Amino acid sequence: MTPKLALGAMALTLALAGNSRTALAGPQDYEFQLVEPKIRQGGDATVAVTLTDKRTGNPVADAVIFATRMDMAPDGMETMTTLVEAMPSTEPGTYNFRTRLVMAGGWRFSIAAKIQGEAETVESRLVIEAIE
């Protein structure tokens, strides 16, 4: 094999290896995190979460958030729910939501998103502490 041909074969192998790593990404490679885990109780609370690709540490912009739920499951009151409304964000990879935290205590924020190029859904359950 000539050096030029060997170099081309190596480049092709590396390119294919890079593509297969991307194709093997799954929901475990992404993580939602609360920007602030303690939020003032009230009728107009804003919950901000970031979505990060754990493999690179980069924010994930343009995910499609299709399911959200806010309940008081951490305090044993899973049936105590409140509405969650998506709001605009100026930071890539940060997603803002308006909600009503009518009681102080633990609230669980369940969120599900689809990420471009990924077949599976990324889901998370985050615990917020509503403070007086």
Judged against a pLDDT cut of 90, whether residue 79 lies above it is answered with: yes
CATH label of the domain that carries residue 81: 2.60.40.10
Q: How high is the pLDDT of residue 17?
A: 47
Nearest of 81, 19, 27 to residue 54 by alpha carbon: 27
In a domain, 13, yes or no: no
For range 23-41, the mean pLDDT? 91
Answer whether residue 18 shows pLDDT above 70.
Answer: no
Total domains in the fold of the chain: 1
Calculate what percentage of the chain has a pLDDT beyond 70.
82
Query: Rounded to whole angstroms, how far apart are CA atoms 70 and 30?
Result: 21
Enclosing domain of residue 59: 26-131
User: Mean pLDDT in the chain?
Assistant: 88
Residue 46 lies in a domain: yes
Specify if 6 maps to a domain: no
Q: Has residue 85 been placed in a domain?
A: yes
